[in-house]
Structure 1
Amino acid sequence: MPQLIPTPWFTVLIFSWFILLTLIPPKVLTHTFTNMPTPQNKKEQETKPWDWPWY
């Protein structure tokens, strides 16, 4: 049963995790958004307390 021999599969696992952890995070972290959201109203909204009629 060749599946039980860990020699080639362990090496493939190690190299694939190495590639995953060294190449992909820098690419994801350097991503910049082209359209940054801007607030429509700079005025603070007034908040009013909500009076609930308790019966």
Structure 2
Amino acid sequence: MPQLNPNPWLIIFLFSWMIFLALLPLKITAHTYPNELSRQTPQVFKTQPWTWPWH
């Protein structure tokens, strides 16, 4: 059975992974988002103390 002989397939496997590991990070880092993120100013909420009816 030729598929059990790892001699040619191991090299093909390793070269294909080296290509994937060389090209995919470049494609991922080149990705740009359509909307730029902006920082929002923190909102300070003014709370009222709760008045309990039985207190």
Task: Establish whether TM, by shorter chain, passes 0.5.
Answer: yes
1:46 corresponds to: 45
Number of aligned residue pairs? 48
Confirm whether residue 35 of structure 1 aligns to residue 49 of structure 2.
no
Percent identical pairs in the alignment equals 38
Provide the rounded CA distance (Å) in 1 between the counterparts of 2:34 and 2:26.
18
Q: Give the TM-score normalised by structure 2.
A: 0.63
Which aligned segments of 4 or more residues in structure 1 are displaced greater than 3 angstroms? Answer: none
Residues 47 and 32 (structure 1), Cα distance of their counterparts in 2 relative to 1, 3 Å cut:
farther
Q: Please tell me the residue identity of whatever aligns with 1:36.
A: E
5+ residue gaps, structure 2, are 51-55
Q: Quote the RMSD (CA, aligned, Å).
A: 2.5
- Alpha-carbon offset, residue 43 of structure 1: 5.5
Q: Please tell me the residue identity of whatever aligns with 1:10.
A: L
- Alpha-carbon offset, residue 42 of structure 1: 4.0
Q: Please tell me the residue identity of whatever aligns with 1:17.
A: W
5+ residue gaps, structure 1, are none
